[in-house]
Amino acid sequence: MHQGWIKICGIRDTETASSVAKLDPNAIGLNFYEKTPRCIDIDTATTIVRELPDNIEAIGLFVNHSVDEVASITDQTKISAVQLHGDESPAFLADLYSQRPQLKLIKAYRVGSNGLEPLSHFLDECGQLEVDLSACLLDARVDGAFGGTGKTIAWDFVSENYPFDEWPPLVLAGGLTPSNIAAAIETVQPWGVDVSSGVESSPAVKDIAQCKNLIDQARAAFEQHDQPKS
C-alpha cells in the first residue's frame, strides 16, 4: 500500500474488467449496491476476481448491507477489501472486523456542510473499538446519493483540513476526470484516487480510452509527489 494508488470503480462485466486490468491500475471496484446502474452480480464478480492479475486488487463496494451479507459476498467472491459507502457505524465496522479480520476496510465519507467534524468523531470511535481502517475515502455529499454523482469536493478545504499524519490514508473521490485528476492530486496530495463516473461514456459504461488517459495523468501527477502530505 503506497501513495499513488489508483482505483477504477463500478466495473460490471468481465470484458471491461480485462480491458481495465491491462491498464494496470492498483485496484478495481465491484459495486454490490442494488440501487445503482453499476451493480454487479456475485457470479460475474467471482469470475472477475479469479481472472485479475495478482497485482490488481478487487474491492467490494457496499451500501448499508448487513455484516452477514458483506461476509458472505466477500467469502464467495474472494474479495479481500471492502469499501463501505452507506451509514455504517463504527460498531458495524468492529463487528465486521471481528468476523473477517483479514478484510481491508475502507470507509467512505461524504463531505458536506459539517466539514470533517463527523468523520473525526467516527474515527475516534473506531480507535476506541480497535478498528483499523486501511483508508478513508472522501466523496461529495449529494442528498439521496451514496457516491458516483460526478460532483467534486472542495480540494483546498480537504488539503488544509485533513490530518494526513493522524488519520488513515486519504483516497480522494468525487467528480475526478482525465482533465482534472492532475490538478486534484497536486492540490490535495492524497494517498490514492478513486474514479467511477469520470471515465464513462454513458452511465455505468466505462470508456477504456478515458480510463487509460486518467491512469496516465494520475501516475504522472503522483510521481511529482512521492511522499504523502503530513
The full length of the chain comes to 230
Q: Look at residue 229 in the predicted model and tell me its pLDDT.
A: 56
Q: Look at residue 215 in the predicted model and tell me its pLDDT.
A: 98
CA-based max dimension of the chain: 45
Query: What residues are annotated to the active site?
Result: 9, 139
Beta bridge partners of 101: none
AA identity, residue 207? D
What is the full per-residue pLDDT of the chain (230 aa) written as tens digits?
Answer: 468 999 999 999 999 999 999 999 999 999 999 999 999 999 999 999 999 999 999 999 999 999 999 999 999 999 999 999 999 999 999 999 999 999 999 999 988 888 999 999 999 999 999 999 999 999 885 555 444 455 788 899 999 999 999 999 999 999 999 999 999 999 999 999 999 999 999 999 999 999 999 999 999 999 987 655 55
Q: Using CB atoms within 10 Å of the CB of residue 94, give its burial: 0 to 12 exposed, 13 to 18 middle, 19+ buried.
A: middle
Q: What angle do CA 195, 200, 205 make, to 5 degrees?
A: 115
Q: Where are the domains of the chain?
A: 5-223
Q: Look at residue 145 in the predicted model and tell me its pLDDT.
A: 47
Parallel, antiparallel or unpaired: strands 170-172 and 192-195: parallel
**Please, what CATH class does the domain formed by 5-223 belong to?**
alpha beta
Q: Look at residue 146 in the predicted model and tell me its pLDDT.
A: 46
3-state secondary structure labels for all residues of the chain = CCCCEEEEECCCCHHHHHHHHCCCCCEEEEECCCCCCCECCHHHHHHHHHHCCCCCEEEEEECCCCHHHHHHHHHHHCCCEEEECCCCCHHHHHHHHHHCCCCEEEEEEEEECCECHHHHHHHHHHHHCCCCCCEEEEEECCCCCCCCCCCCCCHHHHHHHCCCCCCCCEEECCCCCCCCHHHHHHHHCCCEEEECHHHEEECCEECHHHHHHHHHHHHHHHHCCCCCCC
Rounded CA-CA distance 142/149 in Å is 7
Q: Look at residue 98 in the predicted model and tell me its pLDDT.
A: 96
E strands within 40-97?
A: 57-62, 81-84
Q: Look at residue 150 in the predicted model and tell me its pLDDT.
A: 58
Q: Look at residue 114 in the predicted model and tell me its pLDDT.
A: 85
**Does the global pTM surpass 0.85?**
yes
